[in-house]
Amino acid sequence: MSDVRVAGVGLTPFGNAPERTSRDLFGEASIAAFEDSGVPRDDVDALLYGNFMGELSEHQGHHGPLMAEAAGVRAPATRYESACASSGTAVRDAVMRLRNGEDDVILVGGAERMTNLGTAGATEALAIAADDLWEVRAGMTFPGAYALMAQAYFDEYGGEHEDLAHIAVKNHENALNNEKAQYQSAIEVSDVLEAPQVSSPLGLYDSCPISDGAAAVVLTSEEYAEEHGLEAPVSISGTGQGGDRMALHDREYLARSPAAREAGEEAYADAGVESADVDFAEVHDCFTIAEVLAIESLDLFPIGEGISAARDGRTTADGETPINLSGGLKAKGHPVGATGASQIAEVTKLLSGNHPNSEFVEDATTGVAHNAGGTVASATVHVLEVSE
């Protein structure tokens, strides 16, 4: 079975760019990924592309061949849709195809155009990742759904809004030097607590922004990397995927994420590592409570202890297990179809020493990327390691 190497990564800035199309954004990210990799476009065997709301935001379906054209690639192209885990799912399939020898080079990534819809339009578009019959028609939005999960967590394990505020402060601090981040500004705990309430107990600063952006990653087999003398020291050594019931009222747990735990356990076993081997992680913090659920699901902190991890300094940049050194979805931004691939890019740069926050993990050898869809009805987890 072939090792999978990350040959190159490319990101657009995440932010407010309503005039830019997704093909424009993905083209930019792809150019950067190819330049970083040194891999000729003609060597690409396939494009796997993540996108969630293209039909709603751009009246555009059949994204695969359109994005291949934007990237300058003449290869079979497929779109993946798994809500906010769309490109994480695409990465997983790319890893499997490279491992089984079906392909040698795959361009994988994603993009989303969201801000052109406005806040109300984007919120409505995002809501279709919930159960339309039993949640959306009853008025459920994702801020409301995650507020229910946050309150369930407080009721079962304790904690308060101030604990969540420390997560937002941490992630804004991590984004300060990330030129790709949407919010490169510091905030205080008081800013979070005094911000307008979105859905109790969550406020404005507990929520990730609406974002435009794209990410692209060039993945190759180990054999291709060695044959072509590529500088590709980071490999994806583990991959996992999990699922849960769609609607919150059908689930066994509101204060846990079984899909993410399943994906994490599978990824750890696949890589031959344990959670204790993980030096840092990029997790899907669409809301502050989501980071808590993620780090507990990944077994980085025991259930019930994730709530205080940021407040205690355990997940800060200089803490024992830094979380979201990129700024996370909270501050870096969340163009949903791009997020999973962008996490792979961030972890790769951190492990390679090419990230503005690499100084905090300069001795790290193992990082994890956790990507979730909806209220974590879908999840993918990837383990990345520095190859020997």
Cis peptide before 201 (omega within 30 of 0): yes
Q: Which two tokens stand for residue 146?
A: 């995650």
* Degrees to nearest 5, angle at CA 379 with 20 and 7: 60
Residue listed under structure tokens 């800013």: 191
φ and ψ of 261, to 5 deg: -65, -45
φ and ψ of 84, to 5 deg: -75, -5
Q: Taking phi first (over 0 means left), then psi (-120 to 50 degrees means alpha), and beta for anything else, what does residue 10 get?
A: beta
Helix or strand or coil: residue 287? strand
Alpha carbon distance 30, 15 (integer Å)? 18
User: Which position among 84, 161, 166, 284 bears the catalytic label?
Assistant: 84
Q: Which two tokens stand for residue 294?
A: 């993620």
Type of residue found at 345: A
Answer whether 132's CB lies under 8 Å from 71's CB: no
334 catalytic residue (yes or no): yes
Residue listed under structure tokens 């981040």: 181
Q: Which two tokens stand for residue 43?
A: 């060597």
Type of residue found at 363: D
User: Which position among 166, 284, 334, 370 bears the catalytic label?
Assistant: 334
Q: Would you tell me how many other CB atoms lie within 10 Å of the CB of residue 59?
A: 7
Pairing of the two strands 213-221 and 4-11:
antiparallel
Catalytic annotation, residues? 84, 334
